[in-house]
Amino acid sequence: MPNTVEFYRSFSNVNDIPFENRAQIAFAGRSNVGKSSLLNRLAGQKKLAKTSKTPGRTRLINFFLVDNRFYFVDLPGYGYAKASKKDKAVWSALVESYFQKRENLKGLILLLDCRHEPTGDDQLMIDWLEANGVHYIIAMTKADKLSRGKLLSRQKQFEKRFETEVIPFSANSGIGKKELWGWIEKAVEGPSN
């Protein structure tokens, strides 16, 4: 696990992201899925990424520097029901241009709430990752909200449906933190995609 995770910069335009060699690990998920809480828990810092009760406000890609070695890339959440057409267009343009650039993207962590069926937006994101050969894993968030048995059957369901590794994660209890760091470390050493 790392020593330091620090906020680096926010970008509203991917052309402003400076070219450099550090690897990138991206995080994506529906608004309110628990992405800020997961990032805070991974970093061991309560206020690194903002958690908010009014989801869908972020129109920025946030970069965090991990041990001066690689970046966490916090992509804005999608699927906020009250988002305007314009908001959605801004989101799509920003995220699509990030993916088009993605020189040093080594892996992506897709967050799915363990209590819910994946939405159409989740499926679109997964289809896109598959079509583009992006190395990804699913973090099943808010794992503390389900009983052990229900959690396990949800995990199996997700693994079967998406044919990828699924890690149950809880920002409250810390379940899955070690496993997720293990995946991240391996991905950072792996090839870009």
Where along the sequence are the contacts to ligand GDP (CB under 6 A)?
Answer: 29, 31-37, 51-52, 55, 77, 141-142, 144-145, 170-172
182 CB-near residues (< 8 Å, 6+ apart): none
Helix (H) or strand (E) holding 172, with range, is none
| Closest CB to ligand GDP among residues 155, 170 | 170
| Closest CB to ligand GDP among residues 102, 177 | 177
Cβ–Cβ under 8 Å, residues 102 and 24: yes
Instruction: Compute the C-alpha angle 3/75/20, nearest 5°.
Output: 60
Q: Is 24 helix (H, G, I), strand (E, B) or coil?
A: strand
| Closest CB to ligand GDP among residues 24, 37 | 37
Q: Least Å distance between CB 146 and ligand GDP?
A: 10
| Closest CB to ligand GDP among residues 144, 165 | 144
Q: Least Å distance between CB 168 and ligand GDP?
A: 10
Strand residue runs (E) in the chain: 5-11, 23-29, 61-66, 70-74, 105-113, 136-141, 166-168
Q: Least Å distance between CB 133 and ligand GDP?
A: 26
Q: Least Å distance between CB 74 and ligand GDP?
A: 8
Q: Comparing C-alpha atoms, which of 89, 136, 133, 139 is closest to residue 113?
A: 139
Q: Least Å distance between CB 53 and ligand GDP?
A: 6
Question: For residue 85, what are the CA distances in angstroms to 80, 92, 143?
Answer: 11, 11, 32
| Closest CB to ligand GDP among residues 148, 160 | 148
| Closest CB to ligand GDP among residues 48, 184 | 48
Q: Least Å distance between CB 113 and ligand GDP?
A: 9
Instruction: Report the distance separating Cα 190 and Cα 170, nearest Å.
Output: 26
